[in-house]
Each structure stands twice: as structure tokens, then as C-alpha cells.
Chains A and B, each alone.
Chain A
Amino acid sequence: MNAKRWIWSGVTLAVLGCAGSALAAPFTCPKKGGDLVFGGEAKVNSLDQYGSQTISTRNVVSNVFEPLMTRDETNAPILDLAESMTESPDRLTYTFKIRQGIKFHNGKDMTSADVVASFDRYSKVGIERGFLINVAGWEAPDKYTFVIKMKKAQPTFIEDLSSFSQPVVIIPAEQKDKPALQLEPIGTGPFQVAEYVADSHVKLKRYEGYKPNTKFEQRTGFGGYKVACVDTVTYRIVTESGARVAGLQTGELMAVEDVPTKAQADLKKNPKIALLPLENWWVHIMLPNTYKGPTSNLAFRKAVQAALDMDEIMDASTDGAYKLNIGFQYPGRATYTDAGKETYNLKNKDLAKKYLKEANYKNEPLVLLTNKDYTSMYNAALVVAEQLKGVGINAKVDVVDWPTSVNRMIKEKEQNTWHFFYTGYGTQPALGPLATMKFFVHGGNATPVPADAELNAAYDDMINKPDPKERQAAFARMQKRILEQVYAVPFGSLTKVQAVRSNVKGFKPFRIPRFSNVWIE
């Protein structure tokens, strides 16, 4: 059993990844060897985790690279390459002791000089380098100590640092000047890259020099006690879902992600295949353009909110693979809150019409900006359009491709062309409230939301309040405000189904497929 805990001591925070019991035996592979062939749904464009935030990149390199800290099975921060982490009482210094005896895939010892180089590169090309904004600098006082100095306290710094959205993975110092997307995939993880053919496959092989983290006995999240049981992993890119299912049926693929709902009934009957539903894959959502009428009018936005039947929308979007969910966090998590639930799934046509009258709506066209790259977004827009027409709103669906859709959402001159933008929050809800709330405030907004003092104050509290309870209360306030002001319309949580052949053991569904501690019988 793994254990990890946040220890509060005055204003000093120490995060320890430690064994629950020194008596428990660490994981050993029941069987070693074989090639695990995994069918991925999206193209792996790059293996440089600093320069790409895509899920497919993460799918592969999370098994290759490791950061100082990561998240466990419940997404709580844990230590990975760090032996310990100490936060100074004034929250201005973070001291990391680094695990000794770790070797990179090229055989070189990992030291604090590599950690410094990794942070140097991340600060230049890391897409999420913005989280280092309050960092004054970093240094390596000795071979196995790394210190981060802050300009000002940032209570959520460890939450950011341990995020697996785009972690500061540790690379050999020689690579620190590699431009974005040109990193050689040399990490410290249990697997090393043997071959990478874009659009075809990535071949990983067991790294014989890997040193598991003995503070744990089992794999947990992306960390813990990791062992490569299989000799190799072939991560094949099979974008066509029918081909992925066929590959699983024939046994050419031993595990796949994203099994289409329509194929699941047949697969369930096959005793050689196990379906692994991954609930809460992402929060399906539409975001209003509050800079342009009629969606600039709160009464109108409330009319839209009142008209929607979320069951219908989610059913059509996901072929039935969903759960209704009001919030910006996944149900079951400690940070989940249902604040603002009174605004959700109202399906009240009379109330919608009342708000329309209040908004003095004159049948102006309402453009729903969606795309076909993500079928669920497209289907949601179609159903929403019909429901809105049912209360007298002149709704029109505008379908473009995803890059165009994003461009029209963020560019000021394009913001006259749409009223609701369709998207989904996936990894962010898993990473905690901060990761989704950043979309709504202070210039980091990914949707046209007006300057809202109450919203910004709640966000500032989420970042700056030292007590986690106060931060959670601020999040609940913020969620409620967003829903009451209809700055977002979440529909529900979408389930994603992974599947494995029955001879694949130890594969547990997670946001990112983990190949360590998985064996083939």
C-alpha cells in the first residue's frame, strides 16, 4: 500500500513520499517479457514534453521522463525524482533533495545540475512556463540539492509544479539549449525510446538501469514504485476507431484507448477482451461570448441556461457514456463542489421564455461555434440548437475545424462572429480547481468574459490564501459566480472506455496509459 501525506508545520510544508510500511514487499512482476502493443487514437506529434501539451505526447513520454514531483492515483502531489521537499516558513524557498543513483537513459548520473538545466530550458520553451512567474531563480548548492527561490509567495506553487499537464521533466544538462520540439527523448523513466516514426508508432524498451522509487511499494498515478515488466511497448497510432477495434479483436493490439460506444456491446461478449471505463474523462462545456449581443445580456444567457436538457445533450454527444455533473471538478474528488447546482439542467421552457422577454430578445441569430474534429462537441451543438429553437431562439450551428474554431474564439476581430464556443475540460479538472478557473480571469481567460471583480477576487483567494480550506471555499464561490452569471455552461462528464486483451494484467485505466507494472500472461 502506498502512502503519501502533506505535513503542515506552522508555515512549513513538507511533502513526503514514503512507504506505508517498511515490512511490505515492493511490487515484483509476476511475469516478465513480451511486447505490449497499444493502439492510440491520436497522432504523437512530438516527444518533447516541454513544447507540446497534447495528450498523445503525454501518453508516451510520461513513461519515459520523470519530474521532481508528480501526482498519485487520486491526483494528489507526491515526490518522484525528489527525495524530499521542504517549503520555508515564508514560502519563499523550496528545497529539494534529489534521489541519488538515478541514471539517464544514456547512462549518465542525474544530479542537481541536470535539474537546473531542465528548469532553464522549461523557462525558455515550456508552454506552461507562466507558472514560474513568481520564481526569482533556482540554484544547485550541492550535487543532490536543488533550491527554488520565490519573488513572492505562491501557495499553489507545488500544485503547479506537480501538474502532469506539462511537467518540468528532468533531462540531461547537455540538452538545455535544444529549441522547442527538438528535445532528444532521454529521460530517467522505466522505459526508453527505441524508435519513433511519427504517424506510425513509438517503440519503447525497458530501461535496464532504472532505479524504482523505494519510498513506495506500488505504482501510483505517474509515480510510485515503477517496474517495466514487458520488454517493449509498441505504441501504435491507429486513428480510425474501427481499425482500433478490429486490431483489438484480432489480438494485433493488446490494449487500446477510446473504444467507440457502438463497438462495446460486441466486445463485451468476447471473453478475451476486458472493457475498462474511465469515468470523468472530461467536462463537456460551451462558453458564451459576453462581448456581443444577445449573449452580452445576462437575462438572455440565463434563458439559454434554463432551456437546456443536459441528459439529451450528453446522450447525443457520447452515445450514452456520460454522467451529469454540474461542476468544474470530477465527482468523488476532495475538491468537488456542487456550488451553483440550482442553475443546472433546468429544462424549463417557461422560465427560458420569461428570461427571453426580460432580455427583450428580437429573434437575433445565435451562432453556436463548433467543430467536427471532436464529434462530441459537434453533436452537443446540434442538440443545443434544437432545444434553443424550441423556446424561440434563432440558433444556428457554425461548423469549422478545431484550429479555426480556437482562432475565432480568441481573436478579438473574430469575436463578432459567434455566441457560444464548444470545448471540453479534460486534464484540467483532474489537476484541481486552479487549472480550470484560470480560464476565466486576469487575461488568462480563454473565453470573452467581462472584468468581474467578484470573480477575480475569488480567484486571487484561490491562489493566495494559505489555508487549503479557504482556497476550496474560494473555488466554490468562483464556480457559483461563473454559473450564476452564465460565463460557462457545463453539460456533464464524459466517460472514455479503454480496453485490454485478457492476457494483459496490471493495466488500470488512468488519464494517461501507464506501461510500468503491466505484464503479459
Chain B
Amino acid sequence: MGRVIFSRIAGAIPVIILVTLITFGLMRLIPGDVTAALGGVNSTPAEREAIRQNLGLDQPIHVQFVKWYAGLLRGDLGRSHLLGKDVTQTMFERLPVTLSLSAYSLVLTILLGLLTGMLAALRQNSWVDQAAMMFAMIGVSMPNFWLGLMMIVLFSVHLGWLPSGGYVPFMQDPWGWFRATTMPAISLALLQVGLLARITRSTMLEVLRQDFVRTARAKGLPNYLVVGKHALANALIPIVTVVGIIVSLLMSGAVVTETVFSIPGVGQLLTSAILNRDYPMIQGGLLIVTLLLVGINIAVDVAYAWLDPRVRYERG
């Protein structure tokens, strides 16, 4: 297992270096800079030049490049041009917001997705299957910003059950956090529920037709053991792969959801940074997000090895 982890980490290092290079280069290729945001709509070229001098953007690109990498080697990701704050500190202020929202959403996704997919597979071609797949299709098709706004109208404006937006940290007020994140988590989860339900259904159908399932039934094992222990365990590997992808999708989907529900997460932070050409924030922020996603992928790989001994033996 240790070797699996080590080889994955070693393989990830070039990916991370490549991401930093691409991010730095691509952002400099896009026209415009942060002066349009800081100077406002009506700033004059002279005023924008003053901002550039303040922020060191008047220096040649190779100087900026060397400075940023030198900072990176010291563990310093720089200071956001837009916020004037340390990039690492800002990211670590925002990550708990997005991670907690994504985690809540992931729990909903796994619960609803697995349940719907399994029900559909176990009752193939019945009305249950049809209804489950229709639910999955609606989830996949519905834009989450629209769903978010509709939920605000229903649950906030008309029923008054949940707040229309904002965020309360879990550690400060767990009930407030639950109320504030329920609608965003549902709107974020529904798309992924559809995806997971469809994968679960097809994988389960395939596994349920396998000889070992027939053997288990022939041995007289109760249905819940056949499905829960034998079939589901074997269906889990493709499902875990999809869950890994879903975690990445939740992070990117959070951009829209955070905007609709006014949640100060990483999604809003990085969108704003990109739209306003806040180079240090984009470079540092994407590096941290990349590290996170690489970590999730390594965890998925480790989960393979844990779920399927053949993976361990092949690599051992």
C-alpha cells in the first residue's frame, strides 16, 4: 500500500509543476489586468499606470516569473492584487467553506445516487426503474443556478423555511450552517446524483448478472446479503472512480452555487480573481486546488487497492 501511495505522489509532482507553468503563462496571454477592476470603469490610463506601479505589474514578465517562483520555493504564494491579502491565508479562510459545502453535497449525492441507482437496478424495467431514471435525468438536465433560484423563491420567499443566502461557519453555529447550506448543497448535488445513479444502475446490472451472484443466491443467501455484500462490493470500483470525479465536479460546480447563494467560498474567490486578472491569487489558488484534487485522486487510487486486492498484488 505504501508503494502505491509513494508512486502516486511521485507521479503527481510533474503534474503540479506543469499546472503552475501553464497557469502563469496562460494568464499572461489573456489581455487585460487587475487595473480595470481596481481603477473602476472610469479610471484614466495614467491612473491605471499608477496602480500597475503600486503592484509591480510594470516589471517585465520574466522578472515577475522569477519572483513568483522564488516565493513559491519559500512557501510564499504572494499577496492578492485585488484583496491585498496573503494568498495562502485567503485560500485557507475560504477552503473550509467550499469543502464543507462540497462534503455536505457529496453525502447527499452518495446517499441519493447509490440508493436510486440500486433501486433502479434491482427493479429493472419496472415503474420504480422508470421513475428513478427520470429523476436522474431531471438532475442531469437541470441547470443548478436555475434550481437554486427556484428553491430560494419557494423555501425562502414563500415558505420562509430557509435563508435566501449567506454562510454561517459550522464551528460557530452548526444549526445555522445546516440551514444556510441545505439549499446550496441540494442544488449542487442534484446534477451529480443523476450521474451517480445512472452509473450505479448500469454497474449493478452488470454485476447482478455475474455467476458469483447466481451462486450466492443458489446457496440460499438472503437478498440483502447478496446485494449488499457481494454485488455492491464488486460494483464499488467503477462507482469509486465516479465519486472521485464527482468531488472535482462539486468543487467546480460550487462556483455557480456560491454566487447564487452569496457564499464566500473558493469558487467565488477564484472566479473573481480570474475575471479581474488577479495573477497571484489565480496562480496560488489554482496550485492549492490542484494539490487538493491530486490528493483526492491519490485517495481514490488507494481506495482501489483497498477494495480490490488484485490491484495490490499486481503492483506488489
Contact = CB atoms under 8 A, between A and B. Distances in A.
Q: Do A and B bind each other?
A: yes
Interface in A379-419: 400-408, 410-411, 414
A162 interface: no
B97 to A, nearest CB: 9
Given A53-B47, A198-B83, A408-B31, A427 B42 contact: yes
Interface in B251-294: 259-265, 268-269, 272, 275-277
A402 B42 CA distance: 12
A312 interface: no
Interface in A132-158: none
B167 interface: yes
Nearest to B83: A198
A400 to B, nearest CB: 8
A238 B36 contact: no
A315 to B, nearest CB: 22
A402 B275 CA distance: 8
A181 B57 CA distance: 15
A48 to B, nearest CB: 6
B198 interface: no
Contacts of A55: 40
Looking at B82, B93, B166, the one whose CB has the most chain A CB atoms below 10 A away is B166
A45 B82 contact: yes
Interface residues of B, number: 56
A187 interface: no
Interface string B184-228: 000000000000000000000000000000000000000000000
Contacts of A408: 31
B269 to A, nearest CB: 6
B122 to A, nearest CB: 40
A384 to B, nearest CB: 19
Which one of A236, A246, A426, A427 has the greatest number of beta carbons of chain B within 10 Å?
A246
Interface string A296-333: 00000000000000000000000000000000000000
A419 to B, nearest CB: 17
B90 interface: yes
A200 B167 contact: yes
Interface string B149-170: 1001100110010011111000
Nearest to A400: B31
A127 interface: yes
Contact of B31 (A239, A252, A403): A403
Given A252-B163, A424-B41, A428-B42, A179 B153 contact: no
Contacts of B272: 43, 45, 199
Contact of B164 (A197, A200, A252, A403): A252
Contacts of A52: 38
Contact of A403 (B33, B44, B156, B167): B33
Interface string A432-449: 000000110001111000
A90 interface: no
A46 interface: yes
B98 to A, nearest CB: 11
Given A130-B50, A237-B262, A240-B259, A401 B32 contact: yes
Contacts of B149: 240, 242-243
Nearest to A183: B84
Contacts of A43: 268, 272
A446 B82 CA distance: 22
A425 B32 contact: no
Contacts of B242: none
B81 A181 contact: yes
Nearest to A54: B40
A426 B42 contact: yes
A48 B164 contact: no
B51 interface: yes
Contacts of A443: 45-46
A125 interface: yes
Give the residue among A182, A401, A414, A423 with the most B Cβ atoms within 10 A. Answer: A401
Contact of A130 (B37, B41, B46, B83): B46
Q: How large is the interface on A (under 10, 10 to 19, 20 to 34, 35 or more residues)?
A: 35 or more
Given A51-B54, A127-B39, A403 B259 contact: no
B43 interface: yes
Contact of B262 (A48, A179, A238): A238
Interface string A175-207: 000011110000000000000011111000000
Contacts of A411: 31
A249 B264 contact: no
Nearest to B163: A252
Nearest to B153: A246
A246 B90 CA distance: 29
B30 interface: yes
Contact of B276 (A252, A403, A407): A403
B42 A243 contact: no
A250 interface: yes
B48 interface: yes
A423 B37 CA distance: 14
B137 interface: no
Contacts of A48: 84
Nearest to A130: B46
B55 A180 contact: yes
19 contacts: A43-B268, A46-B83, A126-B50, A180-B55, A180-B84, A182-B84, A199-B268, A236-B262, A237-B262, A238-B262, A250-B164, A401-B32, A401-B275, A403-B31, A403-B277, A406-B48, A424-B42, A439-B42, A446-B42
Interface of B: 30-48, 50-51, 54-55, 79, 81-85, 90, 93-94, 149, 152-153, 156-157, 160, 163-167, 259-265, 268-269, 272, 275-277
Closest 6 CB pairs of A and B: A181-B84, A403-B32, A200-B264, A180-B54, A199-B264, A407-B32
Given A53-B40, A198-B90, A240-B149, 14 more contacts: A45-B82, A46-B84, A51-B84, A179-B84, A199-B94, A238-B165, A240-B165, A247-B156, A374-B41, A403-B31, A403-B36, A423-B41, A423-B42, A446-B42
